[in-house]
Amino acid sequence: MCSITISVFQFIQKFPDEKSARAYIESKRWGDHPRCPKCGSVHRIQKRKIEGYYRCLACPLDFTVRTGTIFERSHIPLHKWLFAIYQVVTARKGISSLQLSKELGITQKSAWFLLQRIRSAFGKNDDGQNGFLSGIVEVDETYIGGKETNKHASKKLNAGRGTVGKIPVIGMIERGGAVRAMVLSSTSAKAIQAAVKAVVAPGSVLCTDEHASYKGMPEYSHHPVNHSAKEFVDGMASTNSIESVWALLKRGFYGTYHFFSGKHLQRYIDEFTFRLNQGNVKYKTMERVDAVLGRAFGCRLSYSNLIKC
């Protein structure tokens, strides 16, 4: 596996057409032999006349490598899909649907849907990286969105400054390890503590700010930092690492996307945390692409479900 970055030109050379991309995705999904996505059979698979199409004689089921994946029922060629994945995993602050539409030669609407499908794969918890955080864990909350500038007058909250109209997000990062983040329904003690307990292993050390909602969790050793008193580091206690995550997320928000819809916000957060958990975006390009493909199988998002969620 290549341990260094692959340039845009090299990537396009590697996957110049549908056939090369399909062969690569098939090898990552099935290895040497196609497997029925319904019954799992590998022994009763028949190739169809059209290249890339198969029939399971045990089910029976006609299928392709797209079946049951983020690529299913998409008319966009697979080499364009792979290029989109490449762009997402190598862009530290993300790539907008407008920019991607220009690079792929598709409409912005199609590029937006394609990106949302890719982001849905980032949220899958099937690779062992989304287990409990442990050791010293920094926890902090932030707020996303809420700008009134582009809203119709009837929809403006006219609430002045503060958190009104913004969406609360909680983040947790293990010192020297993985980061997790999720949208909250509120910043109440019940909501915050439920999020922490779902992610952080009992016995861990929590480093937080002085928010009262973090109090009352005896299964953790709690070390708060009093930001209101201009205290940012107290011995081992600090939230500098998780605050750096928020800084990157907000640079993507203001510099790349400009707007996150509340109902889709978790997918954008999953995208950013995926890149952070994969390490430096300049290295191991194909390992990053393969990590996305590993999550793409068994993960289909239809347009109707997307706009209804």
Distance CA 141, CA 164 (A): 15
Q: How confident is residue 126, by pLDDT bands cut at 50, 70 and 90?
A: very low
| Average pLDDT of the chain, as a whole number | 87
Summarize pLDDT for 129-145 with one digit per residue, the tens.
557 999 999 999 999 97
What pLDDT is stored for residue 145 in this prediction? 77
What pLDDT is stored for residue 1 in this prediction? 46
Share of the chain above pLDDT 90, in %: 70
Residue recorded with tokens 């998780």: 242
Distance CA 264, CA 282 (A): 27
Q: How confident is residue 157, by pLDDT bands cut at 50, 70 and 90?
A: very low
Say whether pLDDT at 216 is over 90.
Answer: yes
Can you give the pTM of this predicted structure? 0.87
170 pairs with which residues across the strands?
Answer: 141, 182
Say whether pLDDT at 34 is over 90.
Answer: yes
Summarize pLDDT for 179-196 with one digit per residue, the tens.
999 999 999 999 999 999
